[in-house]
Amino acid sequence: MNETSLHVVGNVVDVPRHNRTTNGSVTNFRIASTSRRWDDETKGFVDGAALFIDVACWGELGGNVVRSISKGDPVVVVGNLLTESWDSDAGRRQANRIKATAVGLNLARGWSEFKRPARAESGPGLSPEDTSPSEDPYSGRSTDYIEGEGTLHETDSDVSGDREAVPTLA
């Protein structure tokens, strides 16, 4: 099947809405992506045309989006473009929508703190109370960025062998 995949960078223009349906749970929100170009006459950037499009995030993605994204946040949305059709009092209607496969904050415009939910080990006959969270494979590892410092620190790596020192930024 041919799908139209796309990436859209923009800002959330409404509050994400989480709903439960007969097909599962979905979070919907709308983004605006405005092109910008350099104008030699004004010696500055000017706004071009804006794209407003609805985004649907199903399942676990939708739950994480509603916990993480707010109106006004800069985001990057990856997904498939589709056209939905329905009947209304005014006749047959259509609208384009992105069925998102990934949504993230645009870190070119700010910073964020990622939280990974604990995963429960499950098996036959185990209830949620009997499960224990799986060990986070990244816990205890240091990061290569320490807030407020102007250097890039060398990180530990699973790559073996000699490697050149990582340059520092001054």
Q: pLDDT tens digits, the chain, 170 residues: what are they? A: 688 999 999 999 999 999 999 989 999 999 999 998 999 999 999 999 999 999 999 999 999 999 999 999 999 999 999 999 989 999 999 999 999 999 999 999 999 888 887 776 555 554 444 444 445 555 555 554 445 554 444 444 444 444 445 455 54
Handedness of CA 122, 123, 124, 129 (dihedral sign): negative
Residues 6 or more apart from 9 whose CB is under 8 A from it?
33, 74, 75, 76, 77, 106
In the chain, domain spans: 4-108
Closest to 28 measured CA to CA, from 13, 47, 50, 7: 13
List, as own/partner pairs, every contact residues 150-159 make where C-beta atoms lie below 8 angstroms and the sequence separation is at least 24, other chains included: none
Q: What class, spelled out in words, does domain 4-108 have in CATH?
A: mainly beta
